[in-house]
Structure 1
Amino acid sequence: MPHTSRTESDEFVDTASRPETRGIELIGDAERHGRARDLFWVWAAPNVSILNFTIGATMILLALELWQALLVIVAGAVPWIFTGTVAISGPAAGTSGSVVTRALYGVIGNKVIVAFTGWLISAVFLALNWLASSFMGADLLAGMGLTDPVVVPIAVTLVVSAITVLVAVYGHGLILRIYPVVSIALIVVFLLVTAFILPHVDWAYRAPEPLGGVGLWSAVTIGFTILASTPLSYANSPDIARYLPRSTKPSHIIAATALGGAIPCIVFTAVGALLATGVDAVAMDAGIEAALLDMLPGWLGVLLVVGVVVNTVSLNGMTTYTSSMALQAVGIPIRRIPSAVVVGVMGTALTIYLVMSTSLLDAVNLMLQFLVIISGPAMAIFTTDIVMRRNRYDGAELFDQTRTSPFWYAGGWSVPGMSAVVLGGVTTALCLSTDVWTGPISAAMGYIDLSVPLGMAVSAATYAGLARTRLGSIETRGRM
């Protein structure tokens, strides 16, 4: 069965040359390996992404001046600190983050939360990234005479998703081995693309209608929410770090994870903002990815599309890998490899739906904003718990799902954790400002979007306050 705490040290070796059969099982000290700095390249590969160009262009579409957009982009990378912080729980517990969060929400409550944070977010990000590959692959193939607007993008999606699932099946060993090479190759390609973009940049760009006052703060905060949603979605970072030796310094894990994600996001999202200053409205409506390909020589356009596909495989391979363990943590009796296939099928289905119904720019902006309702509070609670426990997690206790478990709490539910995620989620929704939903607090403030800071603050404060009462876990260890 997959829900076991045995180490399988005699049966399993973490290597790139064969599929990883281990799922959420505990990793013994003898099997720990690697260095914290390896995480930098593991996180860089998924984040040298075409979506950065798309999100950067969005900052200009929000009517921000170029310098304002660049400041927002830097600020939007700050939440990568949370991604790095939760990663340290992986080596401490020796298991997946989706198991560690039993300490936050209770044995039963955790199944509900993981179903959303581990599955819903994963499925959306799988679809968004496969969508980018589908549109750009279709644009490239259109130049070769393959112009069917439905069949071609779907065919590209199916091929890329199949490769992605294969990466997830081979798992941690393959990710650790090939992602540094992938990162360097992608950085080279994207820097070449940047060199061809720079001549098109309007360095004297001015917004057609410069913003001020409430309108400016509305644009700035909406932009920040879109940017922050990416690092806040990576609550799976413990899964990638869990093989590291227990002696690995937490500060090194935090730095490698956060910088690996933040640096490429800042650089290439800024390039996306620069790109948007040299693209007219008609081209933007056609899609930033198409406008980008028009700027590049044929050989580099092909290279970029290949890079986008490789990036998509690296990001979605990691996402599929970690969400396959989330499915196990929910309690479904399935081994990790079949679970990865199931996740891949779900993401592919959602991608095909989006290919036929929306543009890349619309899909990215809307989904990223709505995801913070779930991801922001969950990340705040996880970080707060790590700080309050001083990152002390007992892997064996986390696998005890009986009524005598220290994480059984009130009938399997943690009142502090569940209260914090609900109150934080409601606060986030009330403060959110999107094209299809504006919360009453945001509307009353002139469409200023404080969903991320207020939602996370409410979640953290609620959890910290209740966790030290008789309802909590930090002092009472949860036995009720």
Structure 2
Amino acid sequence: MTASATNDQVGTNTAEGVNDQVGAIEARGIEPVPDEERHGQAIQMFWTWFAANISILGLPLGATLVAFRGLNIWQAILVAVIGSVGSFALVGVLSLAGKKGGAPALTLSRAVFGQRGNAGPTLISWLSRIGWETISTTTAAYALLALFQWIFGWHQNTVLAVISLLIFIGCTLLISGLGHATIMWINKWATIVFGVLNLIVMGFLVATVDWDKVLGVDAGPVSSVVAGIGFIAAGTGIGWANAGADYARYLPRKIPAGRLVTASAFGAGIPLVLLISLGSLLSAGDETLASASDPVAAINGMLPSWMAVPYLIAAFGGLLMSNHLSTYSAGLTMLTLGLRVPRHWAVTLDVVLMFLGGIYFMLIAEDFYGPFSTFLTLLAVPISAWVGVSLVDSARGRRYDSAALMDTSRTSRYWYTGGFRIPAVLAWTVAIVMGLLFTEASTSADDVWFAGPWAHTWLGTNGLGWAISLAVGALLYTVFGGRPAPVSEVEGANR
């Protein structure tokens, strides 16, 4: 290994002291996991993606399908199945790269885009992660504030807001800081605990459904069904597509690809289909949930008062399960960007930024969800372009050279042309431009941040700019990308 390759690992790991035991700090950073340290089964991906999607906030997605897209309950259920299961099947396919190369998704992406060319997708991915984490953290803090008020009678103030943020961030740091083994263990058992709590809450919410209104809703047009599938996919699996390999990298190579994809698809699909379908039921004839600026409070208002405590605990726990996964991936992404500290310190820096974001949005900003959702809508376009290029590259049989992934100097086989793999970078760039042409990002009709010239076509008004970006990226890379240079089994596994 070159000196530069070693320098790129400063603070992330050496071959000694790697620990992937529950309760111990994972010492490994972004460097590939050798075969002798791999373990586990495909079922781990089931628990991982189930945990990431048991948040009660899946309900507003379903509410939007009925209230704003004009679907009836049967169409909404169909959309939920195709959008959530399908998009997480895509996550499973992309996570196969982690099983092959043993490294996080954005580190493996160096082989596709080049050591310098990969900086753009990596930066966008990190911004997306920190954005979703800030939304989860702020929402969970509001849930804690509501819990404090219910139990102790404490009304919201600055001190309580800060305490609520610190509690949630402390829990996130504890889990994400310890790392992979602890996350895998917690995912399984927390899924069971919070899954049961959510089922109880859902049972009481079902009792509030006005079945006459539900069954009386007329079917929406096929175009709305297509747009709804895109909406659900963008709001669920696409947001995790650039993180799947982060959790599959410790799995043995011998695990069948089909099992991993199936575990990912149904691990996320089961909770999402239930939550989205219930959200659709609740919104038939009542748009309160779909238009609520604080969905946690809106859902709480639908329940008996004595259900507030279990509901708020379930909401807090579900958000924590999603947030600790996002934070873990964000830490790895920061290391890929070039931050030279141990992995757990990268996670610590990430949660500090998350805390500052929570402080701003809870105590300073007048509006939270609107601007941030708009920001994340824009980020979905470049992420989807990355997905399109990466899917094609993986399908062409990419193998990974472990040493070259970590060597960021000109000697790396992944240096290509000045650090850029031109076909991949160009395909990604053009795909972003095409996607943005059909994208509008706004908080309201009067507050438009960005609007492409074709944003008001059918594709644009139905929020499918991200899908165009994915398709264009995949098509261009298929035509101009060429096949990856061969890497021997020994090189890919052990160098």
- Please confirm whether the aligned pair reaches a TM-score higher than 0.5, indicating the same fold: yes
1:217–1:448: 8 Å Cα contact kept in structure 2? Answer: no
| Structure 1 residues 169-184: aligned runs within 5 Å | 169-184=177-192
2:88–2:268: 8 Å Cα contact kept in structure 1? Answer: yes
How many Å apart are 1:228 and its aligned residue? Answer: 2.1
Match of 1:272 in 2: 279
For 1:366, the aligned partner's letter is T
How many Å apart are 1:365 and its aligned residue? Answer: 4.9
For 2:33, the aligned partner's letter is I
Report the TM-score when normalising by structure 2: 0.86
For 2:234, the aligned partner's letter is A
How many Å apart are 1:100 and its aligned residue? Answer: 0.4
For 2:51, the aligned partner's letter is A
2:121–2:382: 8 Å Cα contact kept in structure 1? Answer: no
Match of 2:247 in 1: 240
Match of 1:54 in 2: 60
CA distance in 2, matches of 1:228, 1:448: 12
Structure 1 residues 364, 63: closer, same or farther in 2, change over 3 A?
farther
Does residue 21 in structure 1 map to residue 35 in structure 2? no
Does residue 441 in structure 1 map to residue 449 in structure 2? no
For 1:12, the aligned partner's letter is V
How many Å apart are 1:133 and its aligned residue? Answer: 0.9
Query: What per-residue deviation string (whole Å, max 9, x for no partner) do you get for residues 350-370 of structure 1?
Result: 233333436676467535533
Match of 1:203 in 2: 211
Query: What per-residue deviation string (whole Å, max 9, x for no partner) do you get for residues 51-107 of structure 1?
Result: 201222222331423333333322321121221011111121122222100011101
Match of 2:381 in 1: 373
Does residue 429 in structure 1 map to residue 460 in structure 2? no
2:13–2:342: 8 Å Cα contact kept in structure 1? Answer: no
CA distance in 1, matches of 2:286, 2:437: 34
Query: What per-residue deviation string (whole Å, max 9, x for no partner) do you get for residues 389-421 of structure 1?
Result: x24222223223232322111100111221122
Structure 1 residues 155, 277: closer, same or farther in 2, change over 3 A?
farther
Structure 1 residues 25, 98: closer, same or farther in 2, change over 3 A?
same
CA distance in 1, matches of 2:463, 2:100: 36
How many Å apart are 1:323 and its aligned residue? Answer: 1.4
Does residue 75 in structure 1 map to residue 82 in structure 2? yes
Query: What per-residue deviation string (whole Å, max 9, x for no partner) do you get for residues 411-443 of structure 1?
Result: 001112211221221222222244334432231
Query: What per-residue deviation string (whole Å, max 9, x for no partner) do you get for residues 193-220 of structure 1?
Result: 111011211223369997966xx84686
Query: What per-residue deviation string (whole Å, max 9, x for no partner) do you get for residues 99-150 of structure 1?
Result: 1000111011112321111x10110110121122122222233334222255
Please give the root-mean-square deviation of Cα atoms over the aligned residues, in Å.
Answer: 2.9
Match of 1:464 in 2: 478
Match of 1:224 in 2: 230
2:57–2:295: 8 Å Cα contact kept in structure 1? Answer: no
How many Å apart are 1:284 and its aligned residue? Answer: 5.0
Does residue 108 in structure 1 map to residue 122 in structure 2? no
1:169–1:340: 8 Å Cα contact kept in structure 2? Answer: yes
CA distance in 2, matches of 1:369, 1:210: 29
CA distance in 2, matches of 1:71, 1:441: 28
Structure 1 residues 284, 451: closer, same or farther in 2, change over 3 A?
closer
Match of 1:4 in 2: 9
Give 3-state SS (helix, strand or coil) of 2:207's partner: helix
Does residue 354 in structure 1 map to residue 361 in structure 2? yes
Structure 1 residues 64, 171: closer, same or farther in 2, change over 3 A?
same
Does residue 189 in structure 1 map to residue 203 in structure 2? no
CA distance in 1, matches of 2:251, 2:35: 9
* Unaligned runs of at least 5 residues, structure 1: none
1:431–1:450: 8 Å Cα contact kept in structure 2? Answer: yes
Match of 1:44 in 2: 50
Match of 2:484 in 1: 474
For 1:11, the aligned partner's letter is G
Does residue 288 in structure 1 map to residue 295 in structure 2? yes
Give 3-state SS (helix, strand or coil) of 1:34's partner: coil
How many Å apart are 1:45 and its aligned residue? Answer: 0.8
Structure 1 residues 283, 269: closer, same or farther in 2, change over 3 A?
closer
| Structure 1 residues 127-146: aligned runs within 5 Å | 127-143=134-150, 144-146=152-154
* Aligned equivalent of 2:132, options 125, 136, 148: 125
Give 3-state SS (helix, strand or coil) of 2:118's partner: helix
How many Å apart are 1:294 and its aligned residue? Answer: 2.5
How many Å apart are 1:50 and its aligned residue? Answer: 2.1
Query: What per-residue deviation string (whole Å, max 9, x for no partner) do you get for residues 307-365 of structure 1?
Result: 22222222211111121111111112222111101111112222333334366764675
| Structure 1 residues 277-356: aligned runs within 5 Å | 277=284, 279=286, 281=288, 285=292, 287-356=294-363
1:73–1:270: 8 Å Cα contact kept in structure 2? Answer: yes
1:431–1:442: 8 Å Cα contact kept in structure 2? Answer: yes
* Unaligned runs of at least 5 residues, structure 2: 1-5, 443-447, 488-495
For 2:255, the aligned partner's letter is T
Structure 1 residues 288, 94: closer, same or farther in 2, change over 3 A?
closer
CA distance in 2, matches of 1:207, 1:434: 34
